[in-house]
Amino acid sequence: MFKATDLKVYFICGTQDVKSDRTIHDVLKEALEAGITLFQFREKGPDALQGEEKRQLAETLMALCHQYDVPFIVNDDIALAKAIHADGVHVGQDDATVADFATEFEDKIIGLSVGNVEEYQHSDLTHVDYIGVGPMYATQSKDDANAPVGPEMIPTLREYVGDLPIVAIGGIATNNAQDCFKAGADGVSVISAIAQSDDIKSTVANFLQSAKESQ
């Protein structure tokens, strides 16, 4: 059963995000041991795995997450999420419309990216369990990222969505996560700050501490 606290330290990663001398499996295992609360498999870019290779990796990473009782979310790929019985799916404004697949994910977690009030007004949140708000700051992890909206967008959208859980996304690092929590985010979603970290245990602990101090 999904709860807002699952978003606290939300790690997003694909093979494109890890250092060349690491594997995504090793990085994820370290992150899980350190205490991440949710994982999203986001395989993007020109060298992204496809087809059976992508499916096999997704199944392996999902099994690893489940060893730690951490939900496994698939980014954008509805067919893959269905095929492997993932715990949920996250889509952006330009991806599949939630209403088109919601009935097939009734007992699953559905996340939607909502960057600003205009996107909120064009979004159907009927079946959505949480929204990802951002980018908070400039980010190199997404080639198509919009201009940063800053943590102030969190209370702005909170007025519209009420108690719907919000996770901050985009350019979040250990030195700015607390601003997102203080602005009212239920969690922070992070790619490179964890995937590229030389000390994942310390990095995740720092994010968890930021969440705790903001409660």
With H, G, I as helix, E, B as strand and everything else as coil, classify residue 9.
strand
42 is in an annotated binding site: yes
41 is in an annotated binding site: yes
Placement of tokens 């498999």 in the chain: 41
Residue 72, token pair as written in the block: 């496994």
176 is in an annotated binding site: no
**Active-site hit among 22, 29, 142, 158:** 142
206 is in an annotated binding site: no
Q: How would you class 85 by CB atoms within 10 Å of its CB: exposed for 0-12, middle for 13-18, buried for 19 or more? A: exposed
191 is in an annotated binding site: yes
139 is in an annotated binding site: yes
What one-character DSSP code corresponds to residue 176?
Answer: T
171 is in an annotated binding site: yes
Annotated active-site residue 3? The verdict is: no
Annotated active-site residue 42? The verdict is: yes
**Active-site hit among 42, 108, 197, 210:** 42
44 is in an annotated binding site: yes
**Active-site hit among 8, 54, 113, 210:** 113
Q: Which residues contact 121 (CB under 8 A, 6 or more apart)?
A: none
Q: First vs last Cα of the chain: how many Å apart?
A: 22
Annotated active-site residue 113? The verdict is: yes
137: how many CB neighbours lie within 10 A of its CB? 18
Determine the Cα–Cα distance for residues 28 and 36; give it in Å rounded to an integer. 9
36 is in an annotated binding site: no
Determine the Cα–Cα distance for residues 122 and 132; give it in Å rounded to an integer. 15
75 is in an annotated binding site: yes
140 is in an annotated binding site: yes
Q: List the one residue out of 15, 61, 55, 19 whose CA is nearest residue 36.
A: 61
Known binding positions: 40-44, 75-76, 95, 113, 139-142, 171, 191-192
Known binding positions for Mg(2+): 76, 95
Active site residues: 42, 113, 142
